[in-house]
Amino acid sequence: MAEKWARIGRTSGKLFLGAAVKISLSPDVERLIAERVGSGRYRSADDVVREGLDLLQERENEAQRLSSNGAGNFVAAFESIARDVPDADWESVPADLSKNVDYHLDGSRKTS
């Protein structure tokens, strides 16, 4: 693992901007960052890491929002999960699954 310096520091257990902190990155992560910068979409490794952290924060906020809503927000929970399922997997779900769920689960007789 290579060590890199980030422009974030700690004081009294709280993070503050402006100080450098050493972090370790695996070769795969370094390669991913280099690819993203090389694509021209990002100006620097800092931009790639910042966007990754922003996405992590969004995911955690969404998870917290879903858990705070409890079971009453089933649709939002399903939509959140469904976004992570590749289209190819959705295409393999039988169109009549709701009518013939028993058949698809255990091979019992189809209703139509």
Residue-wise pLDDT tens digits, 73-109: 677 777 888 888 888 887 777 776 666 666 656 666 6
pLDDT of residue 89: 80
Residue-wise pLDDT tens digits, 23-59: 888 999 999 999 999 999 999 998 998 899 999 999 8
- CB burial class (10 A; 0-12, 13-18, 19+) of residue 25? middle
Each domain of the chain, given as residue ranges in start order, spans 2-94
List residues bridging with 14 in a β-sheet: 11
d(CA 63, CA 57): 10
* Percentages (nearest 5) of helix, strand, coil residues in the chain: 55, 20, 25
